[in-house]
Chain A
Amino acid sequence: MKIKTEAGERHVLAVTVDNEAGILAKITGLFSARGYNIESLTVADISADHALSRITIVTSGPPAVIDQIIAQLDRLVPVHNVVDLADQGAHVEREIALVKVAGSGDKRIEALRMADVFRAKVVDTTLTSFIFEITGNSDKVDRFIALMRECGLVEVGRTGVVAIARGAEAV
């Protein structure tokens, strides 16, 4: 017998929660307990009085699973609301990566040239290395990192995705 898995499309969820101890564990635990995917997760305090945090989760699944994920998140006591940004029409996604590249000669020059094409900033340099800061959607960051692998990539740190709907309205 083979175990079947279902593919599905990518969704970005914005979850507003009480900024209390254990909430992140509660949310990630829900995903692992119910077998949902987390492709990326970011969390930070967003309110002036530090009472609320916004968690941005990139997940994937068939529509029925996405609907369940939203319903399951929404019924957690400390969750204020859950928004599927795909339902909100167009939205903006950004991610930051810090990319360390080491090397010399042509590879070093090539890395710098491609960083310029990608509008990555140099935030640190030594005679044998650069650290680039690149901001963009995940695809762009992925492509930049893939190119840097050919140019002496030694280390990457990524923030994961934050996203927000376009227009004047708050979700």
Chain B
Amino acid sequence: MTEMSGADMVVQALVDLGVDTVFGYPGGAVLPIYDALFKHPTIKHILVRHEQAATHAAEGYARSTGKPGVVLVTSGPGATNAVTGITDALMDSIPMVVLTGQVSTALIGTDAFQECDTVGITRHCTKHNYLVMDPERLGPIMHEAFYIATHGRPGPVVIDIPKNVQVATGNYVIPEKIAHKSYRPQVEPDADAIAEAIALIAAAQRPVFYTGGGVINAGPDASAALRQLVSLTGAPITSTLMGLGAFPCDDPKWLGMLGMHGTYEANMAMNRADLIIAVGARFDDRVTGRLDAFAPEAKKIHIDIDRSSINKIVPIDVAVVADAGRALDALIAAWQDAGHKPRDLGEWWRRVDGWRATRCLDFPERKDDDADIMPQRAVKALFDATRGRDPIITTEVGQHQMWAAQHFGFSAPNRWLTSGGLGTMGYGFPAAVGAQIAHPGRLVICIAGEASLQMNIQEMGTVAQYRLPVKIFILNNEWMGMVRQWQELTYESRYSNSYSDSLPDFVKLADAYGWTGLRIDTLGQLEDGIRTMIETPGPVIVDCRVAQLANCFPMIPSGAAHTEMLLQPSDVTGTMDDEAKALV
């Protein structure tokens, strides 16, 4: 116990909790904490250009390291600007602690300058939040907040600290052991549920693994366990957008991503399976398609650390509430103890191979040097050029994100950072900043759309300030491509406000910020351009002009079943009934 100011306690707690990096932006109500940080050279503060970017950078840091991301912003607009990233972290289960300044306790509720009801505003977009009214509570709350953010289903925690609480002194208390009064997430799987699950897996003739971000969140060991269990059982595996990387893309059992822009084989396997083993995935609407047609013949095993995910969307036969890694370990042990051997799944694999033969990710293209670059080709070329470099890939949101998910292969967890649940345009570039800060020597590439990138493009200044070698690879088709694609699908190509008008010259913009800028216009320039991007030290922005009207296929349209995929543009009719229009 040591007497110190609240601001010093905050910084001391960060040091004690092993925090090395804070993403933030100063302002009146956090000046005491900024002053305390000034005296603590062990904590690196990354000054962003907008508070939303601080939260996404913290997400990128967290997703690429497994450690919680930390954000420091001021009251009022500082806090409200952070709300999008906080919500994004909640939806994608990213551990994050956000420290917000607040007006002094005597001013709370008086509509003071830069006052907002931060705990009220963030109550439903955080896993938990605190308003600290007494400096003596800062130590315990800081430690508890990190515990809550990182244990159970990870998520964002906000600590709102009034300015006078930062200035006042008190005793800094470190709790001996964090044992929250009520928050005790179940981590170990129930043995009976594991036994039931193993019996189903051993008896299944058409099993498929459906895995998600929970496997990534459970740490690299969980990904290793997943590989072992898939190998033991011989079953095919697909994954959600958030789960990419947990299983290697070059393994013959890998079916690719499932869902709205998933592969034909993944969706057909889900539809025809007699057993689905869901691990750390939550049956999101982008995955299930029309619910009454979802996996009609399958029994479902659902492993999830969040009990509320079980039976939320789809009725489950065997529920295992546990950490994904612990549950996978238990399944492997139970499988081996029972002496199970892989069943002969030959007939099932023959059907899977039949679906694979549609080659659903193929796309039409011209191959001559002057040809327009198909965006899929650009992603494939980027993948080919970075093999062996173990890159970290982030994306914005839209068509480019789906093309990246489809055509960039991942073989290890924590290399793929994307906004899945909230679908936040403007996520990818600051996430790349966070990932690059955490991994200074690694190749970090943000695959962006020209529209999304502009939502946080101000972070070019942050990159320049910290000399980060972030690469931005823009698939520039001059459209909010996914919006336009839906307008073609649903609104007879009435392109209401989906054209990216008045784009900046990205090469000149790069120059203005002291970056290197490149432009790629034709297929013949693609490989050289990518090589130049990789080999150029420091930050590079690549304006890769791609075929403007390409759309993202395969696609399960709104309200359709897994078996009703659109495989190519000619499948599109251009209208939909109101029921389908009303679905997002």
Contacts from A to B (Cβ < 8 Å):
1, 17-18, 21-22, 25-26, 29-30, 33, 64, 67-68, 71-72, 74-75, 77-80
Q: Does the CB pair B123–A25 fall under 8 Å?
A: yes
Q: Which 6 pairs from chain A and chain B are nearest by CB? A: A71-B308, A1-B578, A77-B128, A80-B182, A77-B183, A71-B307
How does the 8 Å CB contact mask read for B113-127 relative to A, with 1 for contact and 0 for none?
Answer: 000000110011001
Known A21-B131, A26-B123, A30-B124; judge A79-B308 contact (CB<8 A): no
A-contacting residues, B92-150, CB 8 Å: 119-120, 123-124, 127-129, 131, 148
Known A18-B181, A21-B131; judge A64-B311 contact (CB<8 A): yes
CB-CB nearest in chain B for A63: B311
20 contacts between A and B (CB under 8 A): A1-B578, A1-B579, A22-B119, A22-B123, A22-B129, A25-B123, A26-B123, A29-B123, A29-B124, A64-B311, A64-B315, A67-B311, A68-B308, A71-B308, A74-B307, A74-B308, A75-B306, A75-B308, A77-B128, A80-B182
Q: Is B584 an interface residue (CB 8 A)?
A: no
CB-CB nearest in chain A for B183: A77
Q: Is B582 an interface residue (CB 8 A)?
A: yes
For A79, list chain B residues within 8 Å (CB).
182
Q: Is B310 an interface residue (CB 8 A)?
A: yes
Q: Does the CB pair B311–A68 fall under 8 Å?
A: yes
| Inter-chain residue pair count (beta carbon < 8 A) | 48
B110 to chain A minimum Cβ distance, whole angstroms, is 18
CB-CB nearest in chain A for B119: A22
Pick from B123, B182, B315, B582: contact of A1, CB under 8 Å: B582
A67 to B319, CA, bound (A): 14
Instruction: Point out which of A64, A75, A78, A80 has the most chain B C-beta atoms below 10 A from its C-beta.
Output: A75
A48 to B371, CA, bound (A): 78
How does the 8 Å CB contact mask read for B563-584 relative to A, with 1 for contact and 0 for none?
Answer: 0000000000000001100100
Q: Does the CB pair B127–A77 fall under 8 Å?
A: yes
Q: Does the CB pair A77–B308 fall under 8 Å?
A: no
Q: Does the CB pair A33–B306 fall under 8 Å?
A: no
Known A1-B578, A1-B579, A72-B308; judge A77-B123 contact (CB<8 A): no
For A21, list chain B residues within 8 Å (CB).
131
B169 to chain A minimum Cβ distance, whole angstroms, is 23
CB-CB nearest in chain A for B315: A64
For B182, list chain A residues within 8 Å (CB).
17-18, 77-80
Known A1-B582, A30-B124; judge A77-B311 contact (CB<8 A): no
A-contacting residues, B280-317, CB 8 Å: 306-308, 310-312, 315
A90 to chain B minimum Cβ distance, whole angstroms, is 27
The DSSP consensus for interface residues of chain B is loop
Q: Is B180 an interface residue (CB 8 A)?
A: yes
A78 to B129, CA, bound (A): 10
A144 to B472, CA, bound (A): 71
For B578, list chain A residues within 8 Å (CB).
1
A41 to chain B minimum Cβ distance, whole angstroms, is 17
Interface size class of B (residues with CB under 8 A): 20 to 34
A22 to B119, CA, bound (A): 8
Q: Does the CB pair A33–B308 fall under 8 Å?
A: no
Q: Does the CB pair A71–B123 fall under 8 Å?
A: no
Q: Does the CB pair B124–A71 fall under 8 Å?
A: no
Known A21-B131, A30-B124, A80-B182; judge A68-B306 contact (CB<8 A): no
A134 to chain B minimum Cβ distance, whole angstroms, is 36
CB-CB nearest in chain A for B120: A25
How does the 8 Å CB contact mask read for B153-189 relative to A, with 1 for contact and 0 for none?
Answer: 1000000000000000000000000001111000000
Additional A-B contacts beyond A18-B182, A26-B123 (20; CB < 8 A): A1-B578, A1-B582, A17-B182, A21-B131, A22-B119, A22-B123, A25-B120, A29-B123, A29-B124, A68-B311, A71-B308, A74-B308, A75-B153, A75-B308, A77-B127, A77-B128, A77-B148, A77-B182, A80-B181, A80-B182
Pick from A33, A68, A74: contact of B124, CB under 8 Å: A33
Instruction: Point out which of B181, B182, B310, B315 has the most chain A C-beta atoms below 10 A from its C-beta.
Output: B182
For B153, list chain A residues within 8 Å (CB).
75
Pick from A75, A78, A80: contact of B307, CB under 8 Å: A75
CB-CB nearest in chain B for A77: B128
A67 to B313, CA, bound (A): 12
CB-CB nearest in chain A for B133: A21
A74 to B152, CA, bound (A): 13
B83 to chain A minimum Cβ distance, whole angstroms, is 15
A81 to chain B minimum Cβ distance, whole angstroms, is 8
For B119, list chain A residues within 8 Å (CB).
22
A149 to B311, CA, bound (A): 45
For A72, list chain B residues within 8 Å (CB).
308
For A75, list chain B residues within 8 Å (CB).
153, 306-308
A82 to B310, CA, bound (A): 17
A86 to B142, CA, bound (A): 39
B221 to chain A minimum Cβ distance, whole angstroms, is 24
A19 to chain B minimum Cβ distance, whole angstroms, is 11
Q: Does the CB pair B131–A71 fall under 8 Å?
A: no
Instruction: Point out which of B131, B181, B308, B578 has the most chain A C-beta atoms below 10 A from its C-beta.
Output: B308
CB-CB nearest in chain A for B308: A71
B226 to chain A minimum Cβ distance, whole angstroms, is 24
For A1, list chain B residues within 8 Å (CB).
578-579, 582
A71 to B305, CA, bound (A): 12
How does the 8 Å CB contact mask read for B407-447 relative to A, with 1 for contact and 0 for none?
Answer: 00000000000000000000000000000000000000000
A52 to chain B minimum Cβ distance, whole angstroms, is 9
A33 to B183, CA, bound (A): 22
A158 to B579, CA, bound (A): 41
B217 to chain A minimum Cβ distance, whole angstroms, is 16
A66 to chain B minimum Cβ distance, whole angstroms, is 11
A24 to chain B minimum Cβ distance, whole angstroms, is 11
For A18, list chain B residues within 8 Å (CB).
181-182
For B127, list chain A residues within 8 Å (CB).
77
A80 to B119, CA, bound (A): 21
Known A78-B182, A79-B182; judge A68-B312 contact (CB<8 A): yes
CB-CB nearest in chain A for B185: A75
B285 to chain A minimum Cβ distance, whole angstroms, is 15
B498 to chain A minimum Cβ distance, whole angstroms, is 24
For A74, list chain B residues within 8 Å (CB).
307-308
A142 to B129, CA, bound (A): 39
For A30, list chain B residues within 8 Å (CB).
124
A149 to chain B minimum Cβ distance, whole angstroms, is 38
For B308, list chain A residues within 8 Å (CB).
68, 71-72, 74-75
Instruction: Point out which of B148, B183, B582 has the most chain A C-beta atoms below 10 A from its C-beta.
Output: B183
